[in-house]
Amino acid sequence: MGIHVIRKGEAMGYLSLEPKLYDEIRGRQASDVKIQEWKGVLERGEPSRFELHEDESLRFKGRWCIPSDDELKKKIMNEPHNTPYSVHPGGDKLYKDLKKTFWRSNMKKEVAKFVARCLTCQRVKREHKRP
């Protein structure tokens, strides 16, 4: 949880707690229909490739299952793609980095679309192509 600090001398201040990314994923899993179906399979004791973690989050081979939430998916892809240390990795590199921690069906296709819409990546790639 992040905490906003109240600066000395402010007339009015506030304390705000913000969820971490994993807390946000776990919270949004609760409202995702498909994820709830997969949890139901586990609760009935049926064999599954999914697992229910001790924090009640659904995982696939130890990786976080990402709910079908466009805002959340964009947030997950945006952070490693736009960090100053990664220099806008292409679709393959970004996918390899994300798949270590996250799982979603069709994630590779979604990452490719995300990178294809990045204007910085398009400008850089254009410079390296032959006319």
| Nearest in space to 93 (alpha carbons), one of 125, 123, 63, 115 | 115
CB 122 within 8 A of CB 90: no
- ∠ CA 75-71-43, nearest 5°, is 95
Quote the pTM value.
Answer: 0.73
Question: pLDDT band at residue 120, thresholds of 50, 70 and 90?
Answer: confident
> Residue 3 pLDDT more than 60?
no
* In the chain, where the domains are located: 1-67, 69-131
Residue 98 CB partners (closer than 8 Å, separation 6+)? 76, 77, 80, 107, 111
Question: pLDDT band at residue 124, thresholds of 50, 70 and 90?
Answer: low
Name the pairing type of β-strands 58-60 and 63-65.
Answer: antiparallel
